[in-house]
Structure 1
Amino acid sequence: MLITNSIFQKINSKIKPVKNKVVNCDGLLLIPGLINSHTHIGDSIAKDISLNKDPDSKINPIFGIKQKILKETEPKKLIHFMRNTVKSMLKKGTTTFVDFREGGLDGVLLMQKVLSNTPIRSIILGRIEFYQSKDQIKKYIDSTVISKPDRIVAEKL
């Protein structure tokens, strides 16, 4: 295998060593880096804390356990857990990820700090900090939904 500037240039059994790095891969299996397209790395500190709870009590953005932990934990500690998760991903072959960040802009900036010296590719997606409760949504739906399906479809178009 011929590697130039950290990029696989050629995979062949007859590569002659030059200034570039050549790695003997006889008997090895080469695969491209894995891409995880839906992560929540910011939640690393709380990922297994509520395994036996219902989803709403775990991840509800207003009153969920995860949200409470994220709000009450110092950024320095969150960074520590997030870095450990990123290192673990790299060790297991993940080279790229897309992260859905809680905490709005502050959450995105925190992730950027975590990734500043890490050789992993990322796409960081922010998440708004305003949510409606189930009652607010139900009230809105009850006041706007009309019982005729054809009318609903026409209004949405």
Structure 2
Amino acid sequence: MEELSGTVLAGESFEPVRGRVVVEGGRIDAVEETNTASTDIVVPAFVNAHTHLGDSVAKEAAVGLSLDEAVAPPDSLKHRRLAAADRAELVSSMRRTLRFMRRTGTVSTLDFRESGTAGARALREAAEGVGVDPFIFGSDEPSVLDVADGYGASGANDDDFAAERAACEERGRPFAIHAGEPDASDIHPALDLDPDLLVHMVHAADEHLERVAAESVPVAVCPRANEVLGVGTPPVRELLDHTTVALGSDNVMLNPPSMLREMAYAAKRFDVSSREVLRMATAAGAEIADLDCGVIEPGRRAALVVFDGDSDNLAGTDDPVRAVVRRATALDVDRVLV
């Protein structure tokens, strides 16, 4: 049995509780209010709702490029660099990124993995022993579902993904697709595929929001990456008013996959509360992939981040939720428990 004491951001509301989390057998046994001298802040570990970890071989290589030049299949800089990388380089680069994610509090990532079955296997290898569990949305052919957890489509304007969607339906696997990143033209076609997850939705209009709500389709937003690529700003407030919204960091070549940076950006850029942002970075991504984490409550998997509330950066803050979302950095992470 293990106990983590301090201010616990407990339950779906992340209500601060002065007390402790009791962990036994890898699961949360209890959340107890009790007197404690600890200044630690205990929060659910983060779930990054959208990454492209293969881009770890090309960090900062796309500076100044447009969306198509940087990442569009099949001939963008990203795809050229992926084709040129040998397997050992790819696995090593992805492993280093996963280690960075773990150190900054992320324990799972919903990754769109290029290169079919071979790409999915490479990510499985990269994740061995790191402590970050990738939920892999594979690519290329339906047979990738032999290895991947679901299928990740590039966009409904790029190809006909009916066979891949049918394969997901047959196997009971989720189907995710990029939509509304450069413009709105692919949003309705993406929704016609009955997806389990839409990614980006930068150009979602009222007609799309109404359909997303009616069909209960969750969305992963990646506002920092959208900013870097100059494609616009997702309507985060409006999306939250219509569906489940999770936070992702997108391409590693564009930004480090730090949920701390992503939360701070979202909290300061959009009309959202700190609690909404924290949920986007934890419980929402976990719900989308049916992961047993994202909330601190009895019975859940013990996936927790402990921040040093007495660090030079966090000491003296009035609101622990705002402190974690808007102010915390990797230097404030004292421990990640999985």
TM-score w.r.t. length of structure 2: 0.34
State how 1:103-142 maps to structure 2 within 5 Å.
Answer: 103-128=115-140
Query: Match of 1:148?
Result: none
The whole-number CA distance in structure 2 between the counterparts of 1:74 and 1:122 is: 21
Superposition deviation, residue 14 in structure 1 = 5.5
In the alignment, structure 2 segments of 5+ residues that lack a partner are 4-21, 142-153, 161-191, 193-338
* Structure 1 residue 9 corresponds to structure 2 residue 21: no
Letter of the structure 1 residue corresponding to residue 73 of structure 2: P
Query: Match of 1:140?
Result: none
Query: Match of 2:243?
Result: none
State how 1:51-130 maps to structure 2 within 5 Å.
Answer: 51-128=63-140
Number of residue equivalences: 126
Letter of the structure 1 residue corresponding to residue 84 of structure 2: E
- Structure with the higher fraction of residues in strand conformation: 2
Which whole-Å deviations, capped at 9, do the CAs of 1:29-48 have from their partners, x for residues lacking one?
A: 00000011101111111131
Query: Are residues 91 and 25 of structure 1, via their aligned partners in 2, closer, same or farther at CA, if it must alter by over 3 Å?
Result: farther
The whole-number CA distance in structure 1 between the counterparts of 2:31 and 2:39 is: 13
Q: Aligned-residue CA RMSD in angstroms? A: 2.7
Contact 2:101-2:132 within 8 A present in 1 as well: no
Contact 2:102-2:130 within 8 A present in 1 as well: no
Which whole-Å deviations, capped at 9, do the CAs of 1:53-103 have from their partners, x for residues lacking one?
A: 111111121210110110011110111110010000010011111100010
The whole-number CA distance in structure 2 between the counterparts of 1:7 and 1:85 is: 26
Letter of the structure 2 residue corresponding to residue 55 of structure 1: L
Q: Percent identity?
A: 24
Superposition deviation, residue 113 in structure 1 = 0.8
The whole-number CA distance in structure 2 between the counterparts of 1:109 and 1:30 is: 34
Query: Match of 2:18?
Result: none
Query: Match of 1:146?
Result: none
Which piece of structure 1 moves more, 120-129 or 42-51? Answer: 120-129
Superposition deviation, residue 4 in structure 1 = 1.6
Superposition deviation, residue 6 in structure 1 = 3.3
Query: Are residues 119 and 25 of structure 1, via their aligned partners in 2, closer, same or farther at CA, if it must alter by over 3 Å?
Result: farther
Rg larger in structure: 1
Query: Are residues 81 and 25 of structure 1, via their aligned partners in 2, closer, same or farther at CA, if it must alter by over 3 Å?
Result: farther
The whole-number CA distance in structure 1 between the counterparts of 2:140 and 2:113 is: 9
Match of 1:30 among 28, 42, 48: 42
Query: Match of 1:152?
Result: none
In the alignment, structure 1 segments of 5+ residues that lack a partner are 16-23, 138-155
